[in-house]
């Protein structure tokens, strides 16, 4: 029974990392990328997202609850998984280790980001707009904190896609897994560019 529960939890953890969390990540990066078109474009995109009907229901059930489960179970995996790097220094084994490390870094980053741009903003009655993000990211410490956090998040998602496709039986053969490795690298580079370009726009 415990083995079955662990198997189900791992499958659910993998699924939630892609749907809906991964989809939300792409959407969030896309909205933020409007900053490269100027403050007015970013503010309009942010206002559109804030004005969505049933916004709080969507945030709770599509974002926060899936993210909470994925994070808690991910921390459990990170501290119980065996990497065996000293014995098996293969590419996938290293990716396995980096996936766990970036999971912890990403969790810290997201927790701070949610506090800074959702909770604290609500408490102090501020508006989430271009000026707010510019004020945060012109601080060198927070710029590098966000840079590391964004790259960690995009790596964790992109590399997690490989595990998702394998665990769900989509890529079974060695050739298909190799193709998925290249695909995940391309996805990582592409969405990292979007995230980093946005940060640089706010900061400079």
What per-residue confidence (pLDDT) applies to 35? 98
For 180-197, write each residue's pLDDT tens digit: 999 999 999 999 999 999
Instruction: Count Cβ atoms within 10 A of the Cβ of residue 110 and give its class: 0-12 exposed, 13-18 middle, 19 or more buried.
Output: middle
Query: Taking 80 as the threshold, does the pLDDT of residue 1 lie above it?
Result: no
Residue at token pair 């993000």: 133
What per-residue confidence (pLDDT) applies to 104? 96
Choose the weakest-confidence range: 7-16, 87-96, 117-126, 130-139.
87-96
What per-residue confidence (pLDDT) applies to 87? 54
Q: Is residue 128 within 8 Å of residue 50, measured between CB atoms?
A: yes
Query: For residue 59, which of 138, 131, 122, 146 has the smallest C-alpha distance?
Result: 122
Helix (H) or strand (E) holding 80, with range, is: helix 65-80
- Provide CB contacts within 8 A for 93, sequence distance 6+: 83, 84, 85
Number of H helices, E strands in the chain: 10, 0
Over residues 156-176, the mean pLDDT reads 95
Residue at token pair 């990392």: 17
Domain spans, the chain: 2-203
- Mind giving me the DSSP string for 104-157? HHHHHHHHHHHIIIIIHHHHHT---SHHHHHHHHTSHHHHHHHHHHHHHHHHHH
pTM summary value:
0.92
What per-residue confidence (pLDDT) applies to 83? 61
| Percent of the chain surpassing pLDDT 90 | 77
Query: Taking 60 as the threshold, does the pLDDT of residue 17 lie above it?
Result: yes
Q: Span 2-203: which CATH code?
A: 1.20.1300.10
Mean of the per-residue pLDDT values of the chain: 92
CA 140 to chain centre: 22
Residue 200 confidence class, pLDDT cut points 50, 70, 90: very high
| CA pair distance 106, 109, nearest whole angstrom | 5
- Mind giving me the DSSP string for 174-199? HHHHHHHHHHHHHHHHHHHHHHHHHH
Q: Is residue 33 within 8 Å of residue 161, measured between CB atoms?
A: no
What per-residue confidence (pLDDT) applies to 72? 95
For 82-129, write each residue's pLDDT tens digit: 765 555 458 888 999 999 999 999 999 999 999 999 888 777 778 899
| Percent of the chain surpassing pLDDT 70 | 95
């Amino acid at each position: 029974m415990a083995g079955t529960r662990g198997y189900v939890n791992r499958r659910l953890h993998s699924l939630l990392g892609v749907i809906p969390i991964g989809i939300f990540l792409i959407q969030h990066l896309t909205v933020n990328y409007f900053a490269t078109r100027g403050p007015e474009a970013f503010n309009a995109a942010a206002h559109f997202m804030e004005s969505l009907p049933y916004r709080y229901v969507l945030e709770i059930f599509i974002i926060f609850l899936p993210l909470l489960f994925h994070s808690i179970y991910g921390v459990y995996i990170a501290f119980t998984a065996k990497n065996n790097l000293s014995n098996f220094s293969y590419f996938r084994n290293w990716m396995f280790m980096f996936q766990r490390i970036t999971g912890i870094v990403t969790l810290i980053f997201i927790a701070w980001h949610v506090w800074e741009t959702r909770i604290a903003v609500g408490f102090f009655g501020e508006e989430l707009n271009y000026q707010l993000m510019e004020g945060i990211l012109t601080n060198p410490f927070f710029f590098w904190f966000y840079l590391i956090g964004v790259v960690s998040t995009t790596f964790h998602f992109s590399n997690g896609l490989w595990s998702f496709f394998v665990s769900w039986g989509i890529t079974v053969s060695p050739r298909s897994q190799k193709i998925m490795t290249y695909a995940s690298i391309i996805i990582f580079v592409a969405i990292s560019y979007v995230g980093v370009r946005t940060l640089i726009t706010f900061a400079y």
